[in-house]
Amino acid sequence: MSHDDEHAPLEGAVRAGLARGDVAGAVRELIAAYGAEVYGFLTAAIGAAPAARAVYASFADELHRDLPAFRWGFALRTFTYFVARREIRRRRDGASDDRRRAPASTPGLRAHRKSMVAAALRRSLSLDDRELLVLRVDRGLGWRDLAWTRLGEDAAERDLDAESTRLERRLVHLRAQIGSLTRRTGRR
């Protein structure tokens, strides 16, 4: 079963709800399918559960407003991440970036230390970089879908292409940066 076939029933249910004027029902379908995944993304990207819950609440509210205007240029899953990322940006504007430094030493087993170091490294990244890592590495979004979550449905093809390339290069740089930090931290 292809990715598109797998999500066809959801798309059908959401489209049918919207056609009936049942926006709340369509949003319920969407949240039932992707709500937990989006909440996990928000928690991983933001790093603080209370802040993630607040952004998730606004995300759910915004789905009610945005879903009827969605033009189906991308998959529903990508659309949900677009709305979630926009809500993160809205909350972040004017707020300080939540960065934490990796601890100099972590007691415990080597595997536990590596896990703690990896988590601390992720938290030390900017919110944009954490979003990129979670959506590409953890959630497996394609480059064009990632570009769309940043630029929106009105983006021109050339802008989507340029943003896709920029994000791909950014991830290469991030992986190198994380690898370097991991090696340095492992030597302590």
Note the pLDDT of residue 115. Answer: 53
**C-alpha to C-alpha distance for 20 and 83, rounded to whole angstroms:** 23
Looking at per-residue confidence, does 97 or 120 come out higher?
120
State the CB neighbour count (10 A cutoff) for residue 108.
9
Is the pLDDT score of 171 beyond 90? yes
Sequence ranges of the domains in the chain: 3-186
Note the pLDDT of residue 145. Answer: 94
Q: Which residue type occupies 4?
A: D
Q: State pLDDT tens for residues 2-54.
A: 445 567 899 999 999 999 999 999 999 999 999 999 999 999 888 888 899 99
Which one, of 183, 164, 163, lies nearest residue 175 by Cα?
Answer: 183
**C-alpha to C-alpha distance for 106 and 112, rounded to whole angstroms:** 8
**51-69: average pLDDT:** 94
Which tokens in the block code for residue 97? 């970036």
Note the pLDDT of residue 30. Answer: 96
139-164 burial: b if 16+ Cβ within 10 Å, else e: bebebbbbbbbbbeeebeeeebeebb
Is the pLDDT score of 187 beyond 60? no
- Give the pLDDT band of residue 183 (cuts 50, 70, 90): confident
Which one, of 90, 114, 112, lies nearest residue 186 by Cα?
Answer: 114
Looking at per-residue confidence, does 99 or 161 come out higher?
161
pTM for the model stands at 0.72
Query: What rounded mean pLDDT belongs to the chain?
Result: 82
Classify the phi-psi angles of 125: left when phi > 0, otherwise alpha if psi is within -120 to 50, otherwise beta: beta
Which tokens in the block code for residue 61? 């509210």
Note the pLDDT of residue 5. Answer: 59
Note the pLDDT of residue 122. Answer: 66
